[in-house]
């Protein structure tokens, strides 16, 4: 994994970006994953929230809460901006309104009671 593919973020997070193409080789969607960047952890983090408009907590299974975002929208924006930097550097199309961006898995908060 190159430093370019995993830029250091202001938080304790790293991002990986996967471009999915259709059978014609056209860029169809972009998949992003967030990983813990504490020490050499590298574990995939979980995103926990009570809903799209509530706080999204980014939690490492090893290190606990890494950072949080005020809403799903904020998390999505954050991953999109980072992903676009990587995509542009690799000559891929960037994420636009026409491209699906699949952010990190959105898990319901196991501690929340419905």
Q: Could you give the CA distance from residue 67 to residue 47 in angstroms, rounded to a whole number?
A: 10
Helices (H) and strands (E) in the chain, counts: 1, 7
Give the nearer residue to Zn ion in terms of CB position, either 36 or 87. Answer: 36
Q: Write down the least CB distance from residue 64 to Zn ion, Å.
A: 8
Q: Could you give the CA distance from residue 55 to residue 12 in angstroms, rounded to a whole number?
A: 18
Options 55, 63, 71, 92; binder of Zn ion; rule CB under 5 A: 63
Residue 101 as a binder of Zn ion (CB under 5 A): the answer is no
Q: Write down the least CB distance from residue 73 to Zn ion, Å.
A: 25
Residues 21-60 that bind Zn ion (CB under 5 A): 36, 38, 41, 43, 60
56-87: burial string, b at 16+ Cβ within 10 Å, e else: bbbbbeeeeebbbbeebeebbebbbebbbebb
What token pair was written down for 65?
């809460």
Residue 9 as a binder of Zn ion (CB under 5 A): the answer is no
Q: Write down the least CB distance from residue 83 to Zn ion, Å.
A: 21
Q: Name the residues that contact Zn ion, by CB under 5 A.
A: 36, 38, 41, 43, 60, 62-63
């Amino acid at each position: 994994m190159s430093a370019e593919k995993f830029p250091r973020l202001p938080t304790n997070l790293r991002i990986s970006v996967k471009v999915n193409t259709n059978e014609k080789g056209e860029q169809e969607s972009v998949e992003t994953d967030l990983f813990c960047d504490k020490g050499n952890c590298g574990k995939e983090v979980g995103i926990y929230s009570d809903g799209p408009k509530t706080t999204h907590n980014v939690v490492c299974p090893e290190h606990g809460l890494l950072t949080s975002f005020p809403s799903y929208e904020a998390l999505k924006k954050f991953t999109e901006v980072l992903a676009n930097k990587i995509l542009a550097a690799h000559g891929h199309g960037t994420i636009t309104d026409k491209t699906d961006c699949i952010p990190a898995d959105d898990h319901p908060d196991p501690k929340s009671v419905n």
